[in-house]
């Protein structure tokens, strides 16, 4: 299976911030798409689940779910099944985000199912040890995000740079095909440049963009670090 994104990549998790309610999710996504196409930098949008189909129909850039369940087609009320994501043009999903943690055996099952469906898997990890364990499952991407820095405005690349390099080394020692991203507290282009220099292949960001005063300006600033 060929990867459906190119490195470096910016993954924008919209979470459930009020700023993106209703049509604002499409507004920020279209701004991201315009910048992505202008600078030839891949940007992946992760909207709340009720907006997945809406955005996938309107965008030409990749749309990921924020969460997926390992559940069967049919009698699995309330679950988000991989096959459904695939059927509406979603190209991947966050898995095991700090705000939606799941056991390792479920991560393994979802990653395997995603490979069968040609979907991209972005698995989140909180520690270097988790990065090494998850790398053995062969996901496409792993995002290292120390939970204490998420939404803090204190960048992981400045506060804890070793966790990025250690995560890259841990993944490479097991599976050099996995791309390591970093997240938690990323706020500006300087944070991104440091992360890339430490070996990260991109960033996973949420509040740093969604809660900024100017979405267009902030996304352009972050993308400038990739150029």
Strands (E), 90-167: 92-95, 120-125, 141-144
Tell me whether residue 130 is one of the annotated catalytic residues: no
For residue 76, give both structure tokens: 């699995």
d(CA 92, CA 86): 8
Q: Is 97 one of the catalytic residues? A: yes
- Strands (E) in the chain, as ranges, are 9-13, 42-46, 64-65, 92-95, 120-125, 141-144, 179-183, 202-205
Residue 87 to residue 77: CA distance in whole angstroms: 17
DSSP class of 11: E
Of 31, 97, 130, 221, the catalytic one is 97
**Pairing between strand 202-205 and 9-13?**
parallel
Distance, CA of 24 to CA of 21 (rounded, Å): 6
Please, how many CA atoms are within 13 Å of residue 9, restricted to the half-sphere of its CB? 24
Whose CA is closest to 28, among 221, 223, 222, 212? Answer: 212
Exactly one of 108, 130, 145, 221 is catalytic; name it.
Answer: 145
Burial 163-179 (b: 16+ CB within 10 A, else e): bbebbbebbeebbeebb
Give the residue numbers annotated as catalytic, written as ranges: 97, 145
């Amino acid at each position: 299976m060929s990867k459906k994104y190119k490195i470096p990549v910016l993954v924008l998790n919209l979470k459930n911030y009020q700023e993106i309610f209703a049509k604002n999710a499409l507004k920020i996504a279209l701004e991201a798409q315009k910048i992505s196409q202008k600078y030839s930098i891949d940007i992946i949008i992760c909207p709340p689940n009720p907006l997945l189909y809406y955005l996938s129909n309107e965008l030409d850039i990749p749309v990921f779910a924020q969460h997926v369940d390992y559940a069967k087609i049919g009698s699995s009320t309330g679950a988000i099944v991989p096959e459904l994501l695939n059927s509406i043009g979603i190209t991947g999903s966050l898995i095991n985000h700090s705000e939606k943690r799941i056991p390792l055996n479920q991560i393994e099952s979802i990653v395997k199912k995603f490979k069968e469906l040609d979907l991209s898997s972005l698995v989140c990890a909180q520690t270097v040890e988790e990065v090494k364990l998850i790398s053995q499952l062969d996901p496409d991407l792993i995002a290292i995000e120390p939970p204490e820095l998420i939404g803090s405005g204190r960048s992981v690349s400045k506060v804890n740079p070793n966790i990025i390099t250690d995560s890259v080394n841990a993944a490479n020692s097991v599976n050099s095909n996995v791309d390591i991203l970093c997240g938690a507290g990323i706020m500006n282009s300087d944070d991104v440049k440091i992360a890339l220099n430490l070996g990260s292949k991109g960033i996973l960001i949420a509040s740093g963009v969604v809660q900024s005063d100017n979405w267009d300006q902030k996304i352009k600033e972050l993308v400038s670090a990739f150029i």
